[in-house]
């Protein structure tokens, strides 16, 4: 069973519509037979190829994964995958929405996944953020699920899943989705030479060096033969 069918029938990326057609009903099936397949995909293209076909089955219409590294004002950005429509992507790039996107701003401060509709009221306290949210709704996006990414040496990223219809996800489902997208993001970042900061691996030690670094403990027989210290005599006793 491939990822497209497996994840759509697991608690990871499933959403079946109710009779009214307005609210999705979440599956309680928490089996993840194909998350293992995704984890075993060594190359980025293979991981992305497994993940993207499953996105529509979760009620989402768009997926974008990006990463950035460096200090503010001198950051390097890169998209690893982006399926958002060109009529939305072009104005976003022209308006440089990344710099004032409230979803990106919150992803910098939070590790757990979140939905835009749950955070929009607090985000709107910032006029610039409110403008971005209004643009998002005007285009037709009904929901955005964000999965913040954190890596070594200050690396950060964000995987955003956008939907044109309402989508709800409870905490277990969000955790499973996050596990999937983090596997994809990790492979993409790892295979991007020259992008972002890298932490040098720990130097390897030879077996002799490991043995030499082991703590020295006195042998029991030598501990027994060691002369005992005598108590000092008190003056004036």
Task: Give the range with max mean pLDDT: 75-84, 102-111, 174-183, 184-193.
Answer: 102-111
**Residue in 148, 162, 147 with CA at minimum distance from that of residue 58:** 162
Residue 140 inside a domain? The answer is: yes
Q: For residue 158, what are the domain limits?
A: 3-190
Residue with tokens 């990790």: 186
Residue 32 inside a domain? The answer is: yes
Biggest CA-to-CA distance, the chain: 98
Residue 198 inside a domain? The answer is: no
* Average pLDDT value for residue range 216-236: 58
HSE value, Cβ hemisphere, 13 Å, CA-based, for 221: 0
Are 80 and 32 spatial neighbours (Cβ–Cβ below 8 Å)?
no
pLDDT digits (tens, 9 = 90+) for 45-95: 888 888 888 888 778 898 999 888 766 666 777 888 889 898 998 888 888
Residue 83 inside a domain? The answer is: yes
Residue 192 confidence (pLDDT): 59
Are 186 and 48 spatial neighbours (Cβ–Cβ below 8 Å)?
no
Residue 127 confidence (pLDDT): 93
* CATH code of the domain covering residue 132: 3.30.450.80
Residue 136 inside a domain? The answer is: yes
Residue 77 inside a domain? The answer is: yes
If one counts the domains in the chain, the total is 1
Are 120 and 198 spatial neighbours (Cβ–Cβ below 8 Å)?
no
């Amino acid at each position: 069973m491939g990822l497209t069918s497996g994840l759509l029938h697991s608690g990871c990326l499933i959403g079946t519509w109710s009779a009214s057609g307005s609210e999705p009903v979440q599956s309680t099936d928490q089996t993840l037979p194909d998350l293992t397949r995704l984890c075993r995909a060594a190359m980025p293209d293979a991981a992305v190829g497994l993940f993207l076909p499953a996105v529509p089955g979760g009620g989402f219409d768009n997926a974008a994964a990006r990463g950035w590294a460096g200090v503010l004002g001198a950051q390097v950005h890169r998209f690893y995958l982006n399926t958002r429509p060109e009529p939305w992507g072009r104005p976003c790039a022209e308006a440089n929405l990344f710099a004032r996107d409230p979803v990106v701003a919150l992803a910098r401060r939070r590790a757990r996944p979140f939905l835009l509709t749950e955070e929009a009221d607090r985000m709107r306290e910032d006029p610039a953020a409110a403008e971005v949210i209004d643009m998002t709704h005007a285009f037709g996006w009904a929901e955005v699920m964000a999965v913040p990414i954190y890596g070594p040496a200050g690396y950060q990223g964000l995987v955003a899943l956008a939907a044109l219809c309402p989508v709800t996800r409870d905490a277990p489902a969000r955790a499973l989705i996050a596990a999937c997208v983090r596997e994809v993001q990790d492979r993409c970042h790892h295979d991007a030479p020259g992008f972002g900061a890298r932490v040098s691996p720990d130097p390897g030690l030879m077996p002799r060096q490991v043995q030499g670094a082991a703590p020295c403990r006195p042998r029991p027989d030598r501990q027994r033969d060691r002369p005992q210290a005598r108590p000092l005599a008190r003056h004036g006793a």
